[in-house]
Amino acid sequence: MRAAPLPGRAAAGAAYLERWAPPVDGELDRLLPAESEEPSVLHRAMRYSALAPGKRVRGVMAVAACEATGGEPRSALPLAAALEMIHTYSLIHDDLPAMDDDDWRRGQPSCHRAFGEGTAILAGDALQSLAFEVLASLPERSGVSAQTALAIVHQVALAVGSRGMAGGQAEDLQAMGETGGPVPAERLWSIHRRKTAALLRASVVAGGLLGVDGGPQALDGAVVRALGEFGEAVGRAFQIVDDVLDVEADPREQRVSAAAVLGKEGALREAERLTRVALEALEPLGPKAGPLRDLGRFLCERTV
């Protein structure tokens, strides 16, 4: 797909992402162990992958969700950094020869190509552990209650386990190992929902929880459902757009792709439908959800 000018609200979302990605990077840099700290090779690998150029979508989504529920956006930076650590861990492991077998990631050699498979596995493990250490310490880092921190840990843990990201990767591996044509649509949506949408959904809900912090304006069930529905719909649309953008990639992966299942135009129509679902879900949050709404538009409508 060729880059094209973004419509107004999507352009505002792109600007929000550009504004908040550097502070998320700064928080990542601050929280990651120094390269000089032993075991230095492991810490170099962690920093190499986590600080590589990236959009920081999950972290900035959490910042925007915190703002949408009345919180101070900067208070969400430790949460944002933890989410990016988890995302990076998943990328390191996905790139391994036993998984997707990719030699490049974010414009540089994959972690296992730069440091070896063993160190890459350990770097992913250590990033996930550090992420949960940061989440558990949100009362000290962001000033929220222990109850709020526990609720956030619960949301993120559900998103990365066998019912979420890890399960989605397992489904993806199984589907790629099978012979035949494109996978059935319902199976593709299951993979997308687990592998991509689950962590995006958790990022939005966690940011919302941090924004209200259990006070008198605490999130009620309807608002939690609204944030979750928005996050899942955006996550699914985001993955569909990625599939279309990657249509010229490795043919082995095309049968587990929205472009293969629905065709390019059909996939884009489904992404548009999911975008509408996402934006409608945010209506109960009112004008404070403007940046989150704009960010969702950008992620679903981007062309690069």
**SS3 for 105?**
strand
| DSSP conformation class of 34 | P
pLDDT in the model for residue 166: 94
pLDDT in the model for residue 2: 35
pLDDT in the model for residue 261: 82
pLDDT in the model for residue 254: 61
Rg (CA), the chain: 18
pLDDT in the model for residue 250: 55
User: For 8-301, which CATH superfamily applies?
Assistant: Farnesyl Diphosphate Synthase (1.10.600.10)
Of 168, 137, 130, 169, the C-alpha closest to 152 is 137
User: Can you give the pLDDT of all 304 residues of the chain as single tens digits?
Assistant: 333 444 567 889 999 999 999 999 999 999 999 999 999 999 999 999 999 999 999 999 999 999 999 999 999 999 999 999 999 999 999 999 998 888 999 889 999 999 999 999 999 999 999 999 999 999 999 999 999 999 999 999 999 999 999 999 999 888 877 766 677 888 888 989 999 999 999 999 999 999 988 655 566 778 888 999 999 999 999 999 888 887 645 555 565 778 888 888 888 899 999 999 999 999 888 888 999 999 999 988 875 5
Distance CA 104, CA 43 (A): 20
Q: What is the 3-state secondary structure (H, E, C) of 69-82?
A: CCCCHHHHHHHHHH
Write the CB contacts of 55 (distance below 8 Å, at least 6 apart in sequence). 17, 21
Measure Cα distances from 18 to 25, 54, 70, 106, 204 in Å. Answer: 11, 11, 21, 17, 18
